[in-house]
Amino acid sequence: MKKQLATLCALSTALFIVSCGDESTTKNDSNNTNDETIIDDTVIDDTTPMIDEDTVVVDQMTDTAVTEEEPVDETQFPDETGDEMLSDEDGLVPDDTDPNCQPGAFPEVCGTWAQQMIFTATAKVAGFDAATAEIRTLFHMTQRQEGGHLWVDSKICHIIIENKTALNPINILMPQTFADALIMLHKEADITLAGEYYQPTYWELRSIKQSILPVDQGTYELPTDPGSPDVEDWDNDGIPGLKVNVDAGLSNGITHIVEKSSSELWGQVNGTGATQTIEGTVYWTDKQVVLSTDNQLFKGGAQNVLKESGPNIWRQKRIPADKDCAYIIENGNTLFPSL
């Protein structure tokens, strides 16, 4: 089954109904470029007046000492993200040699993107029968590229969980503080010359101290004690874990959770330029632990299972480099029309 589902980042589902998995948020970016030293090779004519150690030029006509000022090099060099501009005699010009965008013969997919992930899960919560939910997550992404290899910085912007089971009263209400609190994800992926896209399994541990995670983050077991030194208060509400609201008809409550999820993505690059898209399928896993709740009915958390009939998809569209999560949230329906 894993080979039929696919693609990128697992959505941060809330407590009871899955979040798209993508955990390991501690990968280091190894694509830093070093500043190069520019040497000014000035040619000196034999007739040029002699300059002493104090950079004083002797005017042969008047014997008057004139102090020579060193020229100021105002050239700006691009930083690691290639956002700066080069200047020439005519003014600013775009940097066409961004070291973070070197696709070579491969499809060029570097730049800024909006991504939507949609997946379907079933969950059994506090003894209620399994509910079917559709989780829709929006991401802001920046992709750097060298040949067919990609480095992807991905930030979750917004999460909506919609209960698709009409007779089941459970609704998970994801506060915006949940998405805002999630840290940047640093993923890697590959594309082929034909534009086939693959991201290997990526783990994401939420509201867990990242410095203590093992190299193989899939082996990490979530703590159950809110007082564990592994647990952090990412949404800064004064309570360990991430806040999630649960509406189960007559039983409502607030929970604080930690979460472990993973995702594996397959897809295809379509088109070029501003209208270019990438889309495909995703395989994910998800586990959550309720650290605390004001309703003991929800203490057991949720048992989340991927629903194979889906949809379990992801899709990306290019956006201007200066746009952020606010833009993606505001224009989500336009960028990603309903399926």
- Write down the pLDDT at residue 135: 87
Residues 185-214 have a mean pLDDT of 97
Which percentage of the chain shows pLDDT scores above 70?
65
Q: How many CA atoms lie within 13 A of 88 on its CB side?
A: 4
Residues 173-189 have a mean pLDDT of 96
- Write down the pLDDT at residue 98: 56
* DSSP letter for each residue of 148-168: TEEEEEEEEEEEEEEE--TT-
**pLDDT tens digits along 282-300:** 998 888 899 999 988 777 7
- Write down the pLDDT at residue 54: 45
- Write down the pLDDT at residue 325: 98
H or E stretch covering 118:
strand 111-125
> Which range scores top for mean pLDDT: 28-32, 33-37, 191-195, 303-307?
191-195
**pLDDT tens digits along 23-81:** 433 344 444 444 443 334 444 444 444 444 444 433 444 444 444 444 444 433 334 33
Take residue 280 and report the two structure tokens written for it.
């495909």
Beta-carbon contacts of residue 334 (< 8 Å; ≥ 6 apart): none
- Give me the residue label for tokens 């955990």: 23
Q: What is the dihedral of CA 93, 31, 278, 172, to 10 degrees?
A: -120
304 falls in which pLDDT band (50, 70, 90)?
low
Q: Which of 179, 176, 169, 201 is nearest to 188 (CA)?
A: 201
- Write down the pLDDT at residue 126: 52
* DSSP letter for each residue of 204-226: EEETB-GGG--SSGGGPPPP--T
Task: Give the count of beta carbons closer than 10 Å to the beta carbon of residue 156.
Answer: 29
User: Is residue 129 over pLDDT 70?
Assistant: no
Take residue 213 and report the two structure tokens written for it.
């995670």
- Write down the pLDDT at residue 280: 97
Which percentage of the chain shows pLDDT scores above 90?
50
- Write down the pLDDT at residue 310: 75
- Write down the pLDDT at residue 99: 66
Take residue 150 and report the two structure tokens written for it.
């990609």
Q: Is the pTM of this model over 0.95?
A: no
Top-confidence residue, 305 or 334: 334
**pLDDT tens digits along 76-112:** 333 433 333 333 334 333 344 456 999 999 999 999 9
Residues 159-163 have a mean pLDDT of 87
For residue 250, which amino acid is it?
A: L
190 falls in which pLDDT band (50, 70, 90)?
very high
Least confident of 62-71, 132-141, 146-155, 217-226: 62-71
Sign of the torsion angle spanned by Cα atoms 118, 123, 125, 130: positive
Question: What is the C-alpha separation between 251 and 24, in angstroms, rounded?
Answer: 34
- Write down the pLDDT at residue 246: 85
- Quote the mean pLDDT of the chain: 76
Top-confidence residue, 301 or 231: 231
Residues across the chain = 339
